Homo-oligomer: A and B are copies of this chain.
Amino acid sequence: MSLRVGVIGTGMIGRDHIRRLTTVLSGVSVVAVADVDSSVASEVAATVGAAVLPGERLIEDPGVEAVLVCSWGGTHEEYVLAAIAAGKPVFCEKPLATSPSACLRIVSAEVGFGARLVQVGYMRRYDAAYQALKDTLDRGVIGAPLMMHCAHRNAGVPAFYQADDMINDTAVHEVDMSRWMFGAEVVAVRVLCPRASGNAGGLPDPMLLILELSTGVLVDVEISVNARYGYDIRGEILGENGTAALGDPGLVVLRRQGGLTRPIPADWRLRFGPAYDAELRDWVSAVRSGSPPSGPSAWDGYAASAVSAAAREALSTGRRVEVRLTSPRPPLYDAH
């Protein structure tokens, strides 16, 4: 039997997930959708033969076995808590919630429930290149890790994008990736800003984010959100005996007009599309088999939120800021 899923939020990412669940993946069907704009919800629902319900009702509906939360970030806490209360698996797009304390309330609810129900949408853990990088590291190919150099470059950002979004929306991917890659918490953050790009439109763009991990590994991340030339994600880990880096892009190599050129993708859809597929495939598979999700947990969502808060403070003060995790990690989130 297919897993019966309800999707809350039918904006861009919600619709993309619905397409994925109905035309790419096996073993899952979308039985209900919700959106603040019920006409959009109805339109989307019609294309996949799903019911339209208000978000809370969708979560409670006995025909819905698991929930995807793809709505506006400010609503995540409420929906995820409701899903936990209903004892239903819930996949929540990033961020888990909009503050560390809100995230912590979700962690507490899940710990109270006694089993993992929540997966957060940090899809880089499902990217084949990052997975190969982690596998290389874990097999000891380059020795114990010491540093990682990253770059996260967007060709451009929409007009509503703010300075804090460089941390909350953009750098947060490297925050989660670093925690996962090295199996460690971020303990302190610095943000250094060179002179801003003429393309920056008032943003502190580019910036250099420096993460100190609990194991002593140092991660530096260049964040450029008006890099113009394309969407480019880079990462090189320095180990004691060598380095391992994400490969360069390029299905094809051109030789023309005086250059040997590998195309760089224009945006994240081209770069991480297969990771989104793999992320939901893994989640569906876990939920169908009755296992806890193996992807990013509520604790991961909380930790990312706490690091983001520290990074925002580091950006505004120019100082090194320590990350304050309110409590030790509950045993529920130990790796098995």
Contacts and interface: CB of A to CB of B under 8 A. Distances in A.
Interface residues of A, number: 71
A229 B143 CA distance: 11
A241 interface: yes
A215 B241 contact: no
A232 to B, nearest CB: 7
A144 B254 CA distance: 14
A117 interface: no
Contacts of A99: none
A301 to B, nearest CB: 26
Given A141-B256, A142-B256, A246-B251, A240 B198 contact: yes
A308 to B, nearest CB: 21
Contacts of A218: 192-194, 208
Interface stretch (A22-30, A81-89, A102-110): A22-30
B27 A251 contact: no
A176 interface: no
A229 B242 contact: yes
Given A208-B220, A220-B220, A258 B250 contact: no
23 contacts: A26-B28, A128-B251, A133-B252, A136-B252, A136-B254, A142-B256, A144-B197, A146-B194, A146-B195, A147-B194, A192-B218, A208-B210, A208-B218, A220-B220, A227-B242, A228-B242, A229-B256, A229-B257, A230-B255, A243-B254, A248-B253, A255-B264, A260-B261
A212 B318 CA distance: 14
